Amino acid sequence: MHLKKEFYKIFNEHPKNLYFSPGRVNLIGEHIDYNGGLVFPAAISLGTYAAFKTRSDSRVRIYSKNFTEQGIIEFSINDLTYQDAHHFANYIKGVMEFINQKYHVINDGFDLYIEGTLPPQSGLSSSASLLVLIMFIFNDVYQLNISKTDMALYAQHVENNYMGMHCGIMDQLIIAKGVKDKALLMNTKTYETTPVNAFFEGFTWIIINTNYQRKTTDSKYNERVKECQDALKIINTYKEVSYLCDISIDEYKSIDILIKDPILRKRAKHVITEQQRVLDSKNALLNKDATLFGKLLIESHQSLKNDYEVTGLNLDALVDGALLNGAIGARVTGAGFGGCAIALVPNHLISSFEKQTNLYYKQHTGIDASFYQVNFVDGVRKLEDSK
Ligand code: GLA
């Protein structure tokens, strides 16, 4: 396997183990995983590969094929503080710090080669893929017996506390627990996941990358999390609930006037209506009703555009282009502000769909989009050919 060769080229020795951690796409249920909602993600065949070997001293050496300009990033296991200069390796330091505080097991350094096939900054969760991968590696190497759910929770803890991104649990949990050929209906309050066949006969899910990323995604994301907390506080003066998603649409209709701030009112409206769309999309799948699922995707995007305001010119142009050129539904997937959309496209239209959608997108934004047809795959795992 070429990972071994690459590891040897960089570190001049053979790796002990090889690993893979997928990325994810979310079909529907956006920005509700930190509001106690149901979401519908799948793990995808694009992801992060690693080759790993422990050392007998305290040095850590990390090299990523995706950031060759960083060279080999080196540090000691005795200094795990965040450093800008350590770039993507800060995610790894964050996991090490967490594992050491909880299990006190990392007493030796290691060499690590990383290679990602996820387009960077595309909203397909390359950071959660890396965090869960590293959590999985330490669990494997030090036989820590951490459950997949806990691996996800610990990875989220690192992202929240070490990296300062106040994300929900969706990405880490799907990356840990993904199931081949299925999407998971995920309860973000209980972490319960139910594998569901998310394919409609005659249609294909296509991921489309805007190839545009706003630098301020993390701060805008954290701002939305805070707005939801503020809306919840106001709702709690009327009814004690733990999450915005504990409120039904009917209930919300009678209490939205409590929220005087129009921005907070819109944010809460998105969350509560999106939760209902996930429930409806589950029925659409059960009834094999692709048209209804498509309609829900379109409504989800409109809500994320108008009420949650996380789309922007590029994503909107991409979704408009997709809908004008054959998709029966399309929407932003992931945090938004840039990154990717997902579209449900009739099989017989796929090649013209890609060409025409790109043409439309380029006319409106000046850049090309990229199209990916991916498989839904199992979650994080060790690769067989490790010896
Ligand atoms: C990012 C976060 C997730 C989720 C999505 C939006 O991917 O990491 O927790 O909130 O955005 O649905």
Q: What residue ranges define each of the domains in the chain, with the CATH number in brackets? A: 2-198+376-382 (3.30.230.10), 203-372 (3.30.70.890)
Looking at the predicted structure, is the pLDDT value of residue 386 above 60?
no
Cα–Cα distance for residue pair 354/214, rounded to 1 Å: 24
What are 315-346's pLDDT values in tens digits? Answer: 999 999 999 999 999 999 999 999 999 999 99
Average pLDDT, the chain: 96
Q: Is the pLDDT of residue 115 over 50?
A: yes
Q: Cα–Cα distance between 124 and 206 in angstroms, integer?
A: 13
Give the CA count within 13 Å in the CB-facing half-sphere of 181.
Answer: 2
Ligand 1 atom 1: residue of nearest CA: 335
Paired tokens of 172: 């880490």
> How far, in Å, is the centroid of ligand 1 from the Cα of 275?
14
What pLDDT band is residue 385 in, cutting at 50, 70 and 90? low
Q: If you measure from the C-alpha of residue 54 to the centroid of ligand 1, how many angstroms do you get, rounded to a whole number? A: 33
Tally of CB atoms within 10 A around 67: 16
pLDDT exceeds 70 at position 1: no
Could you give the CA distance from residue 33 to residue 15 in angstroms, rounded to a whole number? 37
Query: Rounded to whole angstroms, how far apart are CA atoms 330 and 323?
Result: 7
Å from CA of 167 to ligand 1 middle: 6
Residue 228 has pLDDT above 90, yes or no: yes
The Cα–Cα gap between 47 and 23 comes to 5
Q: Are 203 and 328 in contact (CB under 8 A)?
A: yes
What is d(CA 373, CA 387) in angstroms, rounded to the nearest whole number?
A: 32
List helix spans (H) across 206-259: 217-236, 249-255
**Rounded distance, CA 23 to CA 175, Å?**
6
30 lines ligand 1 (CB under 6 A): yes
Token pair belonging to 274: 């999106």
- Cβ of 334 less than 6 Å from ligand 1: yes
Q: Is the pLDDT of residue 38 over 50?
A: yes
Q: Predicted confidence band at 55 (pLDDT cuts at 50, 70, 90)? A: very high
274 C-beta closer than 6 A to ligand 1: no
Residue 303 CA to residue 331 CA, distance in Å, equals: 10
What amino acid is encoded at 202 in this protein? Answer: G
Is the pLDDT at 364 greater than 90, yes or no? yes
> Per residue in 140-169, pLDDT tens?
999 999 999 999 999 999 999 999 999 999
Active site residues: 171
Q: What is the distance between the alpha carbons of residues 338 and 341, in angstroms, rounded to a whole number?
A: 9
Residue 298 CB coordination number (10 Å) = 16
Assess whether the C-beta atom of 34 lies below 6 angstroms from ligand 1.
yes
Q: Which atom of ligand 1 is nearest to the CA of 29?
A: 12
Q: How far is the CA of 168 from the centre of ligand 1 (A)?
A: 6
Query: Phi first, then psi: what are they for 52, rounded to 5°?
Result: -140, 145
Residue 387, pLDDT > 70, answer: no
Rounded to a whole number of angstroms, the distance between the first and last alpha carbons of the chain is 11
Q: Which atom of ligand 1 is nearest to the CA of 125?
A: 7
∠ Cα 73 65 172 (to 5°): 85
> What does the pLDDT read at residue 98?
98
| 176 close to 153: Cβ distance less than 8 angstroms | no
Q: Would you say the CB of residue 159 lies under 6 angstroms from ligand 1?
A: no
Instruction: Count CB neighbours of 82 within 10 A.
Output: 13
For residue 159, the ligand 1 atom closest to its alpha carbon is 8
- The residues pairing with 262 across neighbouring beta strands, listed in sequence order, are none
What is the residue with the minimal CA distance to atom 2 of ligand 1? 167
Q: Residue 324 has what pLDDT? A: 98
Cβ of 31 closer than 6 Å to ligand 1, yes or no, is yes
pLDDT at position 121 is 85
Q: Listing from the earlier edge strand, what are the strands of the sheet with 193-196?
A: 38-39, 183-187, 193-196
Ligand 1 centroid, distance to 34 Cα (angstroms): 8
Checking 77-80 for CB contacts under 8 A at 24+ apart, the result is 77/106, 77/107, 77/108, 77/109
Give 337's strand partners.
none
| Reported confidence tier of residue 218, pLDDT bands at 50, 70, 90 | confident
Q: Is 244 in the pocket of ligand 1 (CB under 6 A)?
A: no
Is the distance from the beta carbon of residue 167 to the nearest atom of ligand 1 less than 6 Å?
yes
The answer to whether the CB of 137 falls within 8 A of the CB of 5 is no
Pocket probe mutation, ligand 1, options 25, 27, 30, 33, max atoms within 8 Å of Cβ: 33
The crossing angle, in degrees rounded to 10, of helices 170-177 and 148-157 is: 150
pLDDT at 384: 82
Percentage of the chain surpassing pLDDT 70? 99
pTM of full prediction above 0.95: yes
Among 171, 226, 245, 270, name the best residue to mutate to test ligand 1's pocket (greatest count of ligand atoms within 8 A of Cβ): 171
Nearest to 330 by CA among 305, 351, 352: 305
Ligand 1 centroid vs 59 CA: distance in angstroms? 34
Report d(CA 44, CA 375) in Å as an integer.
6
